[in-house]
Structure 1
Amino acid sequence: MKRFIPIAAVLLLLMTGCAAETGSKESAGAEQSIPSITEQPNSMPEEMPDQFDFLVRFGYGEVTKNEVNTYEDTVTKDLVVKGTATADITLTMDEMRSIYKKMREINIMADKELVPAPKVDVCHVTPYSVDSWKITINDETKTFTWSGENCEPTDDAKDLLELRTYIQHLVAGKEAYKALPEPEGGYD
């Protein structure tokens, strides 16, 4: 305990020293806004580039068996107790452009805030969905994972869920996907 007090005093001194202002307009009472992660500049090209592919895996908990993979032009469907089924599905250029446009609107290549700030009253959902993404645009590849475990997802997580749902609907309309077997069973 005696060691903790000097360390706490040094930390407190450092924190107050770092907060000291020197004649700037912030110290005169003007508020300084701190840009959020989602306010990062959008480095994605306006038009969809030739090199654009993505993979999204999704499912419940550690069971992320559903997959849309434009790198290999395949779609995998989780059949629950019957395993998985995969079909060769190539999205059209118009579909890829519409997905790219939605990705650009949410600035998908920027850093994302996917975990809500900790709260005292934390609500969790069971079972919860998990999405894993891999996106390549012009030799830059971004990967990330988020889950729907929290009752109050971040805005970035909501955007990604909406995007994944949009992609799911595009794929579900394809004849090759409709020909896949129906799942049996469910997840608890």
Structure 2
Amino acid sequence: MPEDMPADFDFLVRYGYGEVTKNEINTYQDTVVKDLIMNGTATADINLTEDEMRSIYERMRGIRIMGKLELVSLKQGCAVVPYQEDSWRITVNGFTRNWSWSGENCELTEDAEKLLELRNFIADIVAGKEEYQALPEAEGGYD
């Protein structure tokens, strides 16, 4: 990734539990989807600032997100329910990379942990936005 954030830098991350990855942060379309669990989903138009995008870009650069990542745990035969799951699409300088990871096998790889930390960092930024705070609260939970 270049040191300076390119003009075409965008990303989309979908996340949730198991196959219920209804939460989405999408800078391609400047939208956020919130999983309301029992009440479906809610969508808001949210623009991240240039500084927020630059901060996210720097974190992505730091974990070399456009390089080779090890996302499948070698520890098999163990299952967690419910488990977290993320899928990513990232565009930098005309190149798009897709990633996904799952916490189903009890243990995350180091790279998956870095993506989880990155997703939490981004979700915290989004959660501070007025547009997100105006969305309804989720009701219920996942077992």
Mapped to 2, the partners of 1:178 and 1:131 lie a distance apart of 22
Instruction: Name the larger-Rg structure.
Output: 1
**How far apart, CA to CA, are the structure 1 residues paired with 2:96 and 2:135?**
30
Instruction: Considering Cα pairs closer than 8 Å and 6+ residues apart, tell me whether 1 or 2 has the greater RCO.
Output: 2
Structure 1: segments with no counterpart, 5+ residues: 1-43
More strand by share: 2
CA displacement 1:110-137 (0-9 Å, x = unmatched):
1210011245xx4321100110000000
Q: Name the CA distance, whole Å, in 2 between partners of 1:113 and 1:168.
A: 23
Indicate which of 4, 7, 19 corresponds to 1:62: 19
Residue identity over aligned pairs, in percent, reads 66
Residues paired across the two proteins, number = 143
Query: Aligned partners of 1:74, 1:117: CA distance in 2, in Å?
Result: 35
**CA RMSD of superposed structures (Å):** 0.9
Question: In 2, distance between residues paired with 1:86 and 1:127?
Answer: 24
Aligned to 1:147: 102
Q: Distance in 1 between matches of 2:105 and 2:112?
A: 10
Q: What is the CA–CA distance in structure 1 between the aligned matches of 2:128 and 2:16, rounded to whole Å?
A: 19
Q: Which segments of 5 or more consecutive residues in structure 2 lack a partner in the other structure? A: none
5 Å matches for 1:1-188? 44-118=1-75, 122-188=77-143
Give runs of ≥4 in structure 1 deviating > 4 Å. Answer: none
